[in-house]
Structure formats: structure tokens, C-alpha cells
Amino acid sequence: MEVAVYNIKGQDTGRKITLNDDVFAYEAGNEANPEHVVYLDVKQFLANQRQGTHKSKERSEVSGSTRKLGRQKGGGGARRGDINSPVLVGGGRVFGPRPRDYRFKINKKVKMLARKLALTSKVQNNELIVVENFTFEAPKTKNYIDFAKNLKIEDKKVLLVLSEANNNVYLSLRNVPNAKMMQARDLNTYAILNNNALVLTEDSVNQINEL
């Protein structure tokens, strides 16, 4: 598959770049449900971002007297012991959250398949744009704003993928709320799907084709 290459002014350069059909035009065969494959990869990515440091105090951890407040029977309400009882305001919490690790693993082949399916969906929905390799002379937000306007994606959530780190480009879009930049080697299914416009440079396309 070949797509047009644009420059940072939004003009067609007249050149074409080849997208690997096995990556950008993947046809699911006898694999498991494609939607479920993507779901698993996104679920794992989000789960791995969680700190898991949540904690609430249980009855034994609340600071308070251990004196029994009332008689065992005949009070007309639930039995309760000390002031730390879960049935009282300010008491401990029953079955509250505890620190835990939410991370889990999925097979590399599943992750690779999910990325292929995500990239394919971007091509099918006309949400993928390829631009020639570029850089900004200085780190200015206006540089990125002009770049987005030229490509007519200023009102979209954008993911810009470069082949390597570029400080000027990163600093230029850092303060734009609907724009994010990452390197091709770090590309994941969640990042691909969590935008309305996927902008790739020529070198990043070549890296993704090989990956």
C-alpha cells in the first residue's frame, strides 16, 4: 500500500511511501476475536499504569478506645463493640482496598497482533497522515500550532510519531492539550487508538514497517 507524503506546510510532496500490508492492512484470519485481542492489550497497558497504593484503615488499624460502648443485647440496633466498629461513623472499613499489583502479562504475539489491528483501523478510517522528516528551529508552541493548521488537524486529538527523540518538537507541543509525541519504538495499541489523527514521519514509518 502506498500513501502520499506531505510536508510541514500541508502540501503534497508528490512522493509516495510504502506501508507494509502486513502491518497497516492486516486481515484477521483464524485468530481469536480481533476486538478481544485489542481489548486485552489496552487493558494490560492501563493496568500496568496503576500504582496500586490505595489503602483504607480496617478495624484493627483505626485509633480509638477498645471500651465496649453498649450492652450486647436489647439496644434495638446492631451489635457493636468499641468505637472502631465498622457500623459506626469514624470506624474501620470492611473489605477496603489494600495495596496490590495490577500488572499482568499477555503473549508478545497477541500484543503484536493488537498493534497491527490498531494501525489497520487508522488507515481504514483515514486517520493516518505521513509527513516528511522535519524539525523546528526553536521550541515554540506556535510552530506546532501552524503545523497542525497546515495539516487541518488543529481541532483533533493528535499523536505525532517520530523515529527518534526531538527536543524542539517535544517542547513545541508539550503545552498543547490535545497533542502528544512519542517515538516509533514506544508505540503501543492504546496510544494508537487514543487519538483522532495519527501523524507519522517517513523514518518512523520505516521503523514500524520493520517492527
φ, ψ of residue 127 in degrees (nearest 5): -110, 15
In three-state secondary structure terms, 100 is coil
CATH superfamily membership of 2-51+102-210: Ribosomal protein L4/L1 (3.40.1370.10)
Cell 526531538 belongs to: 166
pLDDT at residue 142, as a whole number: 96
Residue 25 is classified by DSSP as: S
| CA-to-CA dists, residue 188 to 112, 131, 191, angstroms | 9, 20, 5
pLDDT at residue 31, as a whole number: 64
Tell me how many degrees the CA angle 100-103-108 measures, rounded to the nearest 5: 165
Interhelix angle for 34-49 vs 108-124, to 10°? Answer: 110
Dist. CA 159–CA 169, nearest whole Å: 12
pLDDT at residue 30, as a whole number: 65
Amino acid at 207: Q
pTM over 0.75: yes
Alpha helices in 69-201 (DSSP H): 108-124, 141-150, 167-173, 189-193
CB 137 within 8 A of CB 209: no
pLDDT at residue 32, as a whole number: 66
Q: CA nearest 128: which of 53, 210, 195, 66?
A: 195
Q: CA nearest 202: which of 149, 147, 163, 145?
A: 163
Write the Ramachandran bin of 2: left for phi over 0, alpha for psi from -120 to 50, otherwise beta. Answer: beta
- Render each residue's pLDDT in the chain as its tens digit; 211 residues: 899 999 999 999 999 999 999 999 888 776 668 899 999 999 999 999 999 999 999 999 999 999 999 899 998 888 889 999 998 999 999 999 999 999 999 999 999 999 999 999 999 999 999 999 999 999 999 999 999 999 999 999 999 999 999 999 999 999 999 999 999 999 999 999 999 999 999 999 999 998 7
Residue 92 is classified by DSSP as: P
Domain boundaries defined on the chain: 2-51+102-210, 56-96
